[in-house]
């Protein structure tokens, strides 16, 4: 009975961080990186068909912010972790570029202003 109560208490517990101040610093660094991407995306977007190329350029322009974020989040990052952070930065940059272009990349969700089919 006590084991069931203990497991039930663990299952309903909210996630906790080992170092809340560090977690908030990581969040601030992520916001800084995203703000950099928001500033650079309109400047670097050539409105061509290669969104991934533009996203790579935007992510590269904000590599200092990404490096600061990675250094705090993963202090002893290996090559695999660095590649993961770079890929995540490129995905985030692509989302920002598509947002600025007005392209909705979420499947199945109609955009505002899209024509609605007539019902029979």
Can you give the pLDDT of all 120 residues of the chain as single tens digits?
A: 554 545 455 555 545 567 788 889 999 999 999 999 999 999 999 988 999 999 999 999 999 999 999 999 988 889 999 999 999 999 999 999 999 888 755 566 655 555 555 555
Helix, strand, or coil (residue 101): helix
First-to-final CA distance of the chain: 59
Please report which residue ranges of 45-78 form alpha helices under DSSP H: 51-61, 63-73
């Amino acid at each position: 009975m006590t084991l069931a109560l203990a497991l039930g208490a663990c299952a309903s517990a909210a996630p906790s961080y080992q170092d809340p101040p560090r977690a908030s610093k990581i969040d601030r660094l992520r916001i800084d990186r995203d703000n950099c991407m928001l500033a650079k995306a309109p400047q670097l977007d050539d409105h061509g068909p290669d969104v991934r190329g533009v996203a790579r350029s935007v992510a590269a322009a904000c590599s200092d912010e990404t490096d600061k974020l990675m250094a705090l989040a993963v202090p002893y990052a290996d090559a695999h972790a660095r590649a993961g952070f770079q890929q995540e930065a490129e995905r985030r940059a692509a989302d920002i570029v598509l947002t600025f272009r007005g392209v909705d990349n979420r499947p199945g969700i109609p955009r505002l202003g899209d024509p609605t089919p007539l019902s029979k």
